[in-house]
Amino acid sequence: MASGFVRIAVAAALITMAGAGCAHHAVRSWNAALLPAVATMTSTGRAAAGLPDRSEITAGQLVIHADFPLAGQHRLVRELDGLRIDVSQELGLPVSDEPVQLYLFENTDRYDAFVARTYPGFPARRAFFVETDTTLSVFAAWQDRIAEDLRHETTHGYVHAVVPAVPLWLDEGIAEYFETPRNDDGLHRGHVAHLSGRLLEGTWRPDMERLESLTAAGEMSQDHYAEAWCWVHWLLRTTPERRKLVQDYLADVRRDPNTPPLSIRLRHQLQPTIDAAEAMKAHLDGLATSPPS
Ligand SMILES: [Zn+2]
């Protein structure tokens, strides 16, 4: 059956990624038949499917279903709701009203059982984002790193609601940028340390075109996630010109999914005066040597 074939193909891609060390995953262009029509399920249907159903609250674009009482004023709920405006303003994107469904399981046992039953073959992930033609959904277990996980996955939801064709590498770079605590302004010290180590070893150099050649999340290694984050940080946090460049690019991808890659724009608009890869490396060096605030 077609759906079975897609399921196997996606599972294989995910398994390839199991060693990458990234706890997040966006399943793109998923065959909607594989995802239970969770967004339209009744409470009884959600419970029967093993989905969280004890409480439901709405916060802006988010519809949060949880295994436990979750107050609308919970700090994390407020933070995720506020993230919608941060994402919109930083990326120059409009705010959407398309619902993003968040399913919060009370523990990893409940979550793992749901994933094993609903998505057989999935490797262990603390959280993941699923986009179908009609729904945007996030699934996560309540654990120590839930805030970081939900900031990451919810960012995917906010971005995909307005730019469904966002390129894979940029999608992940943006999500890594916004998964950091708000006061960190997108600074991901784990990625800075990782890439700095790679530079010292001489085993890595920035190459946006290489990132653009990736077509499946299963191909993305920790190096790729870290580099994708670093390009996004360099674009958004260095000059107004670079920020505008990525904002204009996203606006164009929103209008036309076949917009030429960002690297071409970078070369034409910035490269006459700077070498983008060298500038990005210098930015990384600066971050690595600056004291934590
Ligand atoms: Zn992600």
pLDDT one-digit tens code per residue, 121-174: 666 678 989 888 889 999 999 999 999 999 999 999 999 999 999 999 999 999
Ligand 1 midpoint to CA 26 (Å)? 5
Helix axes 222-237, 189-201, angle to 10 degrees: 110
pLDDT at 26 over 60: no
Ligand 1 centre distance from Cα of residue 145 (Å): 15
pLDDT exceeds cutoff 50 at 15 = no
Q: Mind listing the pLDDT tens digit for each residue in 73-83? A: 899 999 999 99
- Domains for the chain: give ranges and CATH numbers: 2-162 (3.40.30), 183-289 (no CATH)
> pLDDT by residue (tens digit) across 174-220?
999 999 999 999 999 999 999 999 999 999 999 999 999 998 887 88
Rg (CA), the chain: 19
Beta bridge partners of 137: 101, 130
What gap in Å lies between CA 175 and CA 167, rounded to an integer?
12
Give the distance (Å) from ligand 1 centre to CA of residue 41: 25
Provide the residue type at 78 as one letter: R
CA of 2 to the centre of ligand 1 (A): 26
Surrounding ion ligand 1 within 5 Å at CB are 24, 26, 172, 175
Question: 155 CA to middle of ligand 1, Å?
Answer: 9
Please tell me the pTM assigned to this model. Answer: 0.87
pLDDT of residue 24: 54
Q: If you measure from the C-alpha of residue 236 to the centroid of ligand 1, how many angstroms do you get, rounded to a whole number?
A: 19
CA of 156 to the centre of ligand 1 (A): 7
pLDDT over 80 at 35, yes or no: no
Q: Which residues have CB under 8 Å from 199's CB, separation 6+?
A: 205, 281, 284, 285
